[in-house]
Amino acid sequence: MLARMDPVAFHLFGRPIYWYGIFVAAGFLAGMAHWSLAARKRGWPADTGSDLGLWIMIGGVVGARIAYVIANWSHHAAAPWSILRFDQGGLVFYGGFIGGTLAVIAYARRRRFAILEMGDFAIGAVPLGHTLGRIGCFINGCCYGAPTEGPLACTLEGVSRHPVQLYEAAANAVIYLLLLRAAPRCRRPGALLGRYLLLYPTARFLLEFLRGDIRLRWLGLTVAQAISLVLFAIGLALVIARAGAPTSETDVQPAP
Protein backbone atom coordinates (compact mmCIF):
# COMPACT_ATOMS: atom_id res chain seq x y z
CA MET A 1 0.00 0.00 0.00
CA LEU A 2 1.31 3.44 -0.94
CA ALA A 3 2.11 5.88 1.84
CA ARG A 4 1.42 9.62 1.59
CA MET A 5 4.06 12.08 2.76
CA ASP A 6 3.48 14.91 5.20
CA PRO A 7 1.93 17.75 3.13
CA VAL A 8 4.23 20.26 4.86
CA ALA A 9 7.75 20.23 3.42
CA PHE A 10 9.31 22.57 5.99
CA HIS A 11 8.68 25.76 7.93
CA LEU A 12 10.05 29.15 6.96
CA PHE A 13 9.91 31.94 9.53
CA GLY A 14 7.35 29.91 11.40
CA ARG A 15 5.07 29.43 8.40
CA PRO A 16 4.49 26.03 6.74
CA ILE A 17 5.70 25.55 3.16
CA TYR A 18 3.59 22.90 1.46
CA TRP A 19 4.81 20.28 -0.99
CA TYR A 20 1.83 21.16 -3.18
CA GLY A 21 3.13 24.66 -3.81
CA ILE A 22 6.65 23.35 -4.37
CA PHE A 23 5.51 20.86 -7.00
CA VAL A 24 3.27 23.38 -8.77
CA ALA A 25 6.22 25.80 -8.92
CA ALA A 26 8.47 22.99 -10.15
CA GLY A 27 5.92 22.25 -12.87
CA PHE A 28 6.04 25.84 -14.13
CA LEU A 29 9.85 25.87 -14.02
CA ALA A 30 9.99 22.60 -15.96
CA GLY A 31 7.63 24.06 -18.53
CA MET A 32 9.77 27.18 -18.90
CA ALA A 33 12.87 25.02 -19.39
CA HIS A 34 11.06 23.05 -22.10
CA TRP A 35 9.86 26.21 -23.86
CA SER A 36 13.28 27.84 -23.68
CA LEU A 37 14.96 24.82 -25.31
CA ALA A 38 12.20 24.53 -27.91
CA ALA A 39 12.45 28.24 -28.78
CA ARG A 40 16.20 27.91 -29.23
CA LYS A 41 15.70 24.99 -31.65
CA ARG A 42 13.25 27.06 -33.68
CA GLY A 43 15.59 30.02 -33.83
CA TRP A 44 13.20 32.23 -31.90
CA PRO A 45 14.39 34.95 -29.47
CA ALA A 46 15.90 33.49 -26.30
CA ASP A 47 13.31 35.15 -24.07
CA THR A 48 10.33 33.55 -25.85
CA GLY A 49 10.19 30.58 -23.50
CA SER A 50 10.43 32.55 -20.27
CA ASP A 51 8.02 35.24 -21.46
CA LEU A 52 5.45 32.69 -22.57
CA GLY A 53 5.87 30.81 -19.30
CA LEU A 54 5.13 33.95 -17.30
CA TRP A 55 1.98 34.67 -19.29
CA ILE A 56 0.77 31.08 -18.94
CA MET A 57 1.61 30.99 -15.23
CA ILE A 58 -0.49 34.08 -14.53
CA GLY A 59 -3.38 33.09 -16.79
CA GLY A 60 -3.29 29.46 -15.71
CA VAL A 61 -3.16 30.06 -11.96
CA VAL A 62 -5.87 32.72 -12.07
CA GLY A 63 -8.12 30.55 -14.24
CA ALA A 64 -7.53 27.46 -12.10
CA ARG A 65 -8.27 29.33 -8.88
CA ILE A 66 -11.41 30.99 -10.24
CA ALA A 67 -12.76 27.59 -11.31
CA TYR A 68 -12.00 26.13 -7.87
CA VAL A 69 -13.61 29.03 -6.02
CA ILE A 70 -16.75 28.75 -8.18
CA ALA A 71 -16.93 25.00 -7.55
CA ASN A 72 -16.54 25.54 -3.78
CA TRP A 73 -18.31 28.85 -3.40
CA SER A 74 -20.18 27.99 -0.19
CA HIS A 75 -16.87 27.46 1.62
CA HIS A 76 -15.15 30.56 0.24
CA ALA A 77 -18.19 32.78 0.76
CA ALA A 78 -17.95 32.02 4.48
CA ALA A 79 -14.18 32.61 4.54
CA PRO A 80 -13.30 35.08 1.75
CA TRP A 81 -9.63 35.31 2.78
CA SER A 82 -9.24 31.62 1.85
CA ILE A 83 -9.61 32.54 -1.83
CA LEU A 84 -5.97 33.69 -1.85
CA ARG A 85 -4.53 30.58 -0.12
CA PHE A 86 -3.07 29.04 -3.29
CA ASP A 87 -0.39 27.29 -1.24
CA GLN A 88 -2.88 24.91 0.38
CA GLY A 89 -4.22 23.50 -2.88
CA GLY A 90 -7.38 24.39 -4.72
CA LEU A 91 -6.58 24.67 -8.42
CA VAL A 92 -8.84 23.15 -11.09
CA PHE A 93 -6.85 22.02 -14.13
CA TYR A 94 -9.46 22.76 -16.77
CA GLY A 95 -9.93 26.25 -15.35
CA GLY A 96 -6.18 26.69 -15.61
CA PHE A 97 -6.22 25.28 -19.13
CA ILE A 98 -8.80 27.85 -20.21
CA GLY A 99 -6.93 30.67 -18.49
CA GLY A 100 -3.64 29.50 -19.97
CA THR A 101 -5.19 29.25 -23.44
CA LEU A 102 -6.40 32.84 -23.26
CA ALA A 103 -2.91 33.87 -22.15
CA VAL A 104 -1.31 32.04 -25.10
CA ILE A 105 -3.69 33.74 -27.54
CA ALA A 106 -2.96 37.16 -26.02
CA TYR A 107 0.79 36.50 -26.10
CA ALA A 108 0.67 35.32 -29.72
CA ARG A 109 -1.22 38.42 -30.82
CA ARG A 110 1.12 40.72 -28.90
CA ARG A 111 4.26 39.11 -30.33
CA ARG A 112 2.73 38.56 -33.82
CA PHE A 113 2.95 34.78 -33.81
CA ALA A 114 0.45 32.62 -35.66
CA ILE A 115 -1.95 31.43 -32.97
CA LEU A 116 -1.99 27.74 -33.96
CA GLU A 117 1.80 27.61 -34.17
CA MET A 118 2.04 29.16 -30.74
CA GLY A 119 -0.57 26.69 -29.52
CA ASP A 120 1.59 23.80 -30.73
CA PHE A 121 4.64 25.35 -29.12
CA ALA A 122 2.90 25.95 -25.78
CA ILE A 123 1.10 22.62 -25.48
CA GLY A 124 4.32 20.60 -25.62
CA ALA A 125 5.22 21.46 -22.03
CA VAL A 126 1.74 21.29 -20.49
CA PRO A 127 1.71 17.55 -19.66
CA LEU A 128 5.20 17.86 -18.15
CA GLY A 129 4.11 20.55 -15.71
CA HIS A 130 0.83 18.73 -15.10
CA THR A 131 2.74 15.58 -14.12
CA LEU A 132 4.52 17.41 -11.32
CA GLY A 133 1.36 19.20 -10.26
CA ARG A 134 -0.52 15.93 -9.80
CA ILE A 135 2.28 14.54 -7.64
CA GLY A 136 1.78 17.63 -5.49
CA CYS A 137 -1.95 16.82 -5.34
CA PHE A 138 -1.16 13.32 -4.08
CA ILE A 139 1.03 14.60 -1.27
CA ASN A 140 -1.48 17.30 -0.42
CA GLY A 141 -4.35 14.80 -0.27
CA CYS A 142 -6.62 16.72 -2.65
CA CYS A 143 -8.26 15.38 -5.84
CA TYR A 144 -8.31 11.98 -4.13
CA GLY A 145 -9.61 8.69 -5.46
CA ALA A 146 -12.55 6.43 -4.69
CA PRO A 147 -12.23 3.73 -2.02
CA THR A 148 -10.45 0.55 -3.09
CA GLU A 149 -8.63 -2.41 -1.61
CA GLY A 150 -6.35 -2.82 -4.64
CA PRO A 151 -2.57 -3.28 -4.34
CA LEU A 152 -1.89 0.37 -5.25
CA ALA A 153 -4.27 1.80 -2.69
CA CYS A 154 -3.16 4.62 -0.43
CA THR A 155 -4.66 5.58 2.92
CA LEU A 156 -6.22 9.00 3.30
CA GLU A 157 -7.86 9.83 6.63
CA GLY A 158 -8.20 6.14 7.40
CA VAL A 159 -9.74 5.15 4.06
CA SER A 160 -7.92 3.09 1.40
CA ARG A 161 -8.30 4.91 -1.90
CA HIS A 162 -7.14 4.85 -5.52
CA PRO A 163 -4.06 7.10 -5.86
CA VAL A 164 -5.80 8.65 -8.85
CA GLN A 165 -3.47 11.65 -8.71
CA LEU A 166 -0.53 9.36 -9.45
CA TYR A 167 -2.47 7.59 -12.20
CA GLU A 168 -2.98 10.97 -13.84
CA ALA A 169 0.64 11.96 -13.28
CA ALA A 170 1.71 8.77 -15.09
CA ALA A 171 -0.75 9.43 -17.92
CA ASN A 172 0.60 12.96 -18.34
CA ALA A 173 4.18 11.72 -18.37
CA VAL A 174 3.32 9.31 -21.20
CA ILE A 175 1.49 12.07 -23.10
CA TYR A 176 4.50 14.35 -22.74
CA LEU A 177 6.80 11.72 -24.23
CA LEU A 178 4.35 11.02 -27.06
CA LEU A 179 4.11 14.71 -27.94
CA LEU A 180 7.88 15.08 -27.71
CA ARG A 181 8.28 12.27 -30.22
CA ALA A 182 5.50 13.50 -32.50
CA ALA A 183 6.55 17.18 -32.56
CA PRO A 184 9.15 16.91 -35.37
CA ARG A 185 6.58 15.22 -37.61
CA CYS A 186 3.76 17.69 -36.87
CA ARG A 187 4.61 20.30 -39.47
CA ARG A 188 1.06 21.53 -39.94
CA PRO A 189 0.10 24.25 -37.43
CA GLY A 190 -2.39 22.92 -34.90
CA ALA A 191 -1.53 19.27 -35.45
CA LEU A 192 0.32 18.81 -32.16
CA LEU A 193 -2.33 20.70 -30.23
CA GLY A 194 -4.96 18.45 -31.79
CA ARG A 195 -3.11 15.35 -30.64
CA TYR A 196 -2.98 16.61 -27.08
CA LEU A 197 -6.71 17.32 -27.16
CA LEU A 198 -7.30 13.70 -28.16
CA LEU A 199 -4.97 12.21 -25.57
CA TYR A 200 -5.43 14.09 -22.30
CA PRO A 201 -9.23 14.49 -22.35
CA THR A 202 -9.53 10.74 -23.01
CA ALA A 203 -7.35 9.94 -20.00
CA ARG A 204 -9.17 12.49 -17.83
CA PHE A 205 -12.61 11.23 -18.84
CA LEU A 206 -11.71 7.69 -17.77
CA LEU A 207 -9.92 8.70 -14.57
CA GLU A 208 -12.94 10.69 -13.42
CA PHE A 209 -14.66 7.36 -12.74
CA LEU A 210 -12.02 6.70 -10.07
CA ARG A 211 -12.30 10.06 -8.30
CA GLY A 212 -13.66 10.02 -4.77
CA ASP A 213 -13.87 13.73 -3.96
CA ILE A 214 -17.02 15.77 -4.47
CA ARG A 215 -17.60 16.26 -8.20
CA LEU A 216 -19.93 18.74 -9.87
CA ARG A 217 -22.19 16.87 -12.29
CA TRP A 218 -24.11 17.73 -15.43
CA LEU A 219 -26.38 15.31 -17.34
CA GLY A 220 -24.96 12.32 -15.50
CA LEU A 221 -21.33 13.24 -16.15
CA THR A 222 -18.92 15.18 -14.01
CA VAL A 223 -18.21 18.68 -15.31
CA ALA A 224 -14.64 17.56 -16.07
CA GLN A 225 -15.98 14.70 -18.21
CA ALA A 226 -18.28 17.05 -20.10
CA ILE A 227 -15.38 19.42 -20.76
CA SER A 228 -13.24 16.46 -21.81
CA LEU A 229 -15.82 15.47 -24.44
CA VAL A 230 -15.90 19.01 -25.82
CA LEU A 231 -12.10 19.24 -25.96
CA PHE A 232 -11.85 15.80 -27.56
CA ALA A 233 -14.28 16.92 -30.29
CA ILE A 234 -12.22 20.06 -30.86
CA GLY A 235 -9.04 17.98 -31.03
CA LEU A 236 -10.58 15.55 -33.52
CA ALA A 237 -11.82 18.41 -35.70
CA LEU A 238 -8.41 20.07 -35.51
CA VAL A 239 -6.53 16.92 -36.49
CA ILE A 240 -8.87 16.28 -39.42
CA ALA A 241 -8.79 19.90 -40.57
CA ARG A 242 -5.02 20.20 -40.36
CA ALA A 243 -4.41 16.92 -42.18
CA GLY A 244 -4.89 18.67 -45.50
CA ALA A 245 -3.43 22.02 -44.50
CA PRO A 246 -0.11 23.27 -45.89
CA THR A 247 2.92 22.56 -43.78
CA SER A 248 4.75 25.34 -42.00
CA GLU A 249 8.16 25.36 -43.63
CA THR A 250 9.17 28.57 -41.91
CA ASP A 251 8.13 29.54 -38.45
CA VAL A 252 6.48 32.92 -38.07
CA GLN A 253 8.98 35.37 -36.65
CA PRO A 254 7.79 37.44 -33.68
CA ALA A 255 7.97 41.18 -33.42
CA PRO A 256 11.17 42.41 -31.74
pLDDT tens across 67-116, in order?
888 777 666 666 666 666 655 557 789 999 999 999 999 999 999 999 99
Question: Which pLDDT score is estimated for 255?
Answer: 45
The whole-angstrom separation of Cα 118 and Cα 55 is: 13
pLDDT band at 218 (very low <50, low <70, confident <90, very high): confident
**What's the pLDDT tens digit per position in 185-212?**
888 999 999 999 999 999 999 999 999 9
- Calculate what percentage of the chain has a pLDDT beyond 90: 64
Mean pLDDT of 142-166: 92
Question: Which pLDDT score is estimated for 58?
Answer: 93
Residues of 27-48 as b/e, b for ≥16 C-beta within 10 angstroms? bbebbbebbbebbeeeebeeeb
Higher-confidence residue of 46 and 169: namely 169
Question: Which pLDDT score is estimated for 252?
Answer: 47
Least confident of 22-31, 83-92, 196-205, 234-243: 83-92
Question: Which pLDDT score is estimated for 256?
Answer: 43
> Contact at 8 Å (CB) between 217 and 186?
no
Cα dihedral value 63, 64, 65, 68, nearest 10:
120
Average pLDDT of the chain is 88
pLDDT band at 246 (very low <50, low <70, confident <90, very high): low
- Calculate what percentage of the chain has a pLDDT beyond 70: 87
